[in-house]
Structure 1
Amino acid sequence: MAPAPFERVGRSAPPGAPPGTCWESVIIPARIETITEQVMISEAETSADGTITKPAVFATETRQEITRPREESYFQTLCPDELTPDYISSLQRALAARGLYDGLITATLNTQTRAAIRRYQQELGIDSQTLSLRAARSLGLSAVELAD
């Protein structure tokens, strides 16, 4: 049986996260590049008149370098008790209104809904199928906290 799509929500949080809030993390994998170079092993030998008597010797060296280290990024999510069938139906309608969801309004977090969430959130810089609180607020589905 596959885990529920929001099963991990709230399980991990960044240091200093307010109590009672739910979080998810996104892993940004390291970028590793393979570098291949020709390295001179010995220089060419030449005679007094400039004629090459022995050509230079080269070897191919290949190495891998980490050009960007692995990163873990956190984002705040709705807590599981907030993801009611009514809320999910509203989410599906909001995503459909933006042309990101073309399935039936099922009130379930099906594969189509999760794919639409990911497409919407990529515009926000979040590559996840877990609905972020930021995305929910920008869709008009969750209250925005105002500064005092």
Structure 2
Amino acid sequence: MRNILLLAALGGLSACQATAPGGDSFTSVIDPVTTSGASGVQVTRGFGPPDADPASCYGREVDPAVIETVTEQILVEPEQLDRNGNIRRPAVFVTATEQRIVEDRTETWFETPCAMEGNADYIATLQRALAARGHYTGPVTGRMDRATVQAVRAYQQPQGLDSGVLSLAAARQLGLSVWDPELAAGTSTDG
């Protein structure tokens, strides 16, 4: 029962604001496709796995534990028979219910292009690249809508990442630039 309450509490917090170890707050972005199940995808800048680069963006795919409920009948008192073999008192059973973790919770961190953050041109280029490979059939809108998220997931699944958030590796395979305009603005020099 405690595990169910813990899972429910974690599920309720998945869309809340959180604080990174450095004290900076960030808002989690939940993948609309995965919220129909129990897992969620979060994207953050500078906060990620223990060796995270503070200038990079990371996606996190969380798959909750798979729990099964097992109900068993446990014999408490065996039946009692008389001398002729007739049942004098039937057996007494107690129903016992137990939850077991069948598959542990998994958490997968991956680097994602920071250019995805609100950049309509980058997302439009992503939509065109996915359409050229037969994964996206919608209009080029420059928005990370449900169809785009599903196309990203369809593209990345064969490569072992079941996520609707574009990984840096997939962006490179699609031929997309991984240039981050926010970082470039801070390092550019005028001639």
Structures share fold, TM-score greater than 0.5: yes
The counterpart of 2:174, out of the listed 123, 139, 142, is 139
Q: Which runs of 5+ in 2 are unaligned?
A: 1-26, 31-41, 179-191
Identity among equivalent pairs (%): 45
Alignment of 1:1-148 (within 5 A): 8-80=43-115, 84-142=119-177
Greater RCO, 1 or 2 (C-alpha within 8 Å, sep 6+): 1
Q: CA RMSD in A?
A: 2.9
**CA distance change for structure 1 residues 117 and 54 in 2, over 3 Å: closer, same or farther?**
same
Q: Which runs of 5+ in 1 are unaligned?
A: 144-148
Contact 1:21 1:79 in 2 (8 A): yes
The 1-side partners of 2:105 and 2:149 are apart by 25
Deviation of 1:68 (Å):
2.2
SS for the counterpart of 2:171 is helix
Aligned letter for 2:59? E
TM-score normalised by the chain length of structure 1:
0.76
SS for the counterpart of 1:114 is helix
Q: Which has the larger radius of gyration?
A: 1
Deviation of 1:132 (Å):
0.6
Larger helix fraction of residues:
2
